[in-house]
Amino acid sequence: MLATAIPLYRQAIEKDPDFALAYARLSYAESYLTYEGAGGQDAVQLDTRARADAEQALKLVPNLAAAQLALGYNAYWGHRDFDGAIEAFAAVLALRPNDPGALEGQGLAQRRLGRFDAAIASFQQAFTQNPRSSVLAANIASTYMAMGRYADAERWSQRALTLEPRNIAAKENYVQSILLGSGDIARALAAATGDSNRLKVGTRAPLLIYQRRYREALDLLDSIPVNVPDPFLAYVVIGKPQTEARLLRWLGQPERAKSLYEQVLPQLRTQVKMQQGIDVGAVWNRIAEAELGLSHAAEGLDALAKSQAIASRSNDHLSAPRLMQVNAAQYAQAGRPDLAVPLLAKALATPGIGGDYSPVMLWLDPHWDPIRPDARFQALLQQYAQYKPAVVPAPPSAH
């Protein structure tokens, strides 16, 4: 995997400092690691190094398409410069028309800019060139999800899984397309099979939570080791304890939850200094949850304000709506429907939200339970009444 590839590319460059392709591939790997959270490294420094490696590749071989491709992915993954990424991918396509990697990158950047139809066209063109690519099929699926076209997303996710049954992203897309399209948690759970820790933390546990099966979700998370050697799964180290803390809070064990929030808060404060762009906003959201879980209301609301300020000025049509929604969820947990409901309404009305959230979640997500009786939230339920799922889990107080 790429985490292993990075030191190997560096070794190759040490042996041959003029190995342009190794510089290009190293840059690609470093940019992807930056995008995946930097694996405990400083994201800004890693991004800068990736850019320098791509530029060195171009210096050695000025028309090297792989180097232009690396520049494009550095702009996209490294510092979320989507217009710059499209420009770099266009340079690759000028050298190699119909290059699948450049077409895929172009589609990814177009999608972030909210150009969803153009993104589908780019992915489809790339898939025509590489019809065995499960990754491309999964990208088409996730784009349809962002557009709220869940039947198409489900179909393309199944196609991706036919090409590569072990494609975790495709499995996640398939499960999400079921959940967000219909609210059928039981069917989504039946589809969320596999031994991947990523699948357990990011897919199965949330589905159990939506069914209010908090104890089972906690047991599932307890079965996952925290000492994960792969830096691409470093989110498990912080994400798992924080999710466990949330579940303990909902199970009526706030003191046990506080000990976990105390454990992750210093890590999050370190992480917020090492991230960049909208990723900083995501970390501020997690800091807000920890502060609120520790009964630090003022600090939690301040962190949420910082997170939302980043979301508001972002041009990322995938991450910004999702960040708005999770910020709204934390406002709800803080008992602030006056802040939660308008922000949630804005998120649901923003194009691109469909890959992460849909109106069916208004009935399924326990984050809204504290404000469910509020007239403003009830009005939002009425606005989206046509999306009410067939089965709505009973709140814990009903048991």
Q: Kindly report, residue by residue over 119-138, the tens digit of the pLDDT.
A: 999 999 999 999 999 999 99
Q: Evaluate if residue 378 carries a pLDDT over 50.
A: yes
Q: Comparing 142-146, 239-243, 287-291, which segment has the lowest mean pLDDT?
A: 239-243
The pLDDT > 70 percentage for the chain reads 94
Q: Report residue 288's pLDDT band, with 50, 70 and 90 as the boundaries.
A: very high
Residue 106 token pair: 């172009």
Which pLDDT belongs to residue 198? Answer: 84
Three-state DSSP class for residue 310: helix
DSSP for 8-68 reads: HHHHHHHH-TT-HHHHHHHHHHHHHHHHTTGGGS-HHHHHHHHHHHHHHHHHHSTT-HHHH
The 3-class secondary structure across 261-281, one letter per residue, is HHHHHHHHHHHHHHCCCHHHH
The pLDDT > 90 percentage for the chain reads 77
Exposure class string for 189-215: b at 16+ Cβ within 10 A, else e? bebbebebbbbbbbbbbbbbbbbbbbe
pLDDT digits 0-9 by tens, 315-355: 999 999 999 999 999 999 999 999 999 999 999 999 999 99
Q: Which fold has domain 1-113?
A: 1.25.40
DSSP summary character for residue 390? S
Q: Evaluate if residue 395 carries a pLDDT over 90.
A: no
> Which of 226 and 16 is assigned the larger pLDDT?
16
CA distance 285 to 262: 16
Residue 218 token pair: 């906690």
Residues 188, 142, 44, 27, CA torsion sign: positive
Which pLDDT belongs to residue 3? Answer: 66
pLDDT digits 0-9 by tens, 189-210: 999 998 888 898 889 999 999 9
Q: Evaluate if residue 231 carries a pLDDT over 90.
A: no
Degrees (nearest 5) of the Cα angle 182, 240, 274?
105
Q: Evaluate if residue 240 carries a pLDDT over 70.
A: yes
CA distance 199 to 176: 12
DSSP for 191-246 reads: H-----HHHIIIIIHHHHHHTT-HHHHHHHHHTS-S----GGGTHHHHHHHHHHHH
pLDDT digits 0-9 by tens, 31-79: 888 877 766 777 788 888 989 999 999 899 998 989 999 999 999 988 8
Q: Report residue 255's pLDDT band, with 50, 70 and 90 as the boundaries.
A: very high
> Which of 102 and 239 is assigned the larger pLDDT?
102
- pLDDT, average across residues 81-108: 94
**Cβ atoms 3, 19 nearer than 8 A:** no
Q: Report residue 1's pLDDT band, with 50, 70 and 90 as the boundaries.
A: low
pTM: 0.90
Which pLDDT belongs to residue 273? Answer: 87
**How many C-beta neighbours within 10 Å does residue 365 have?**
16
Q: What is the mean pLDDT of the chain?
A: 92
CA distance 124 to 103: 9
Q: Evaluate if residue 89 carries a pLDDT over 90.
A: yes
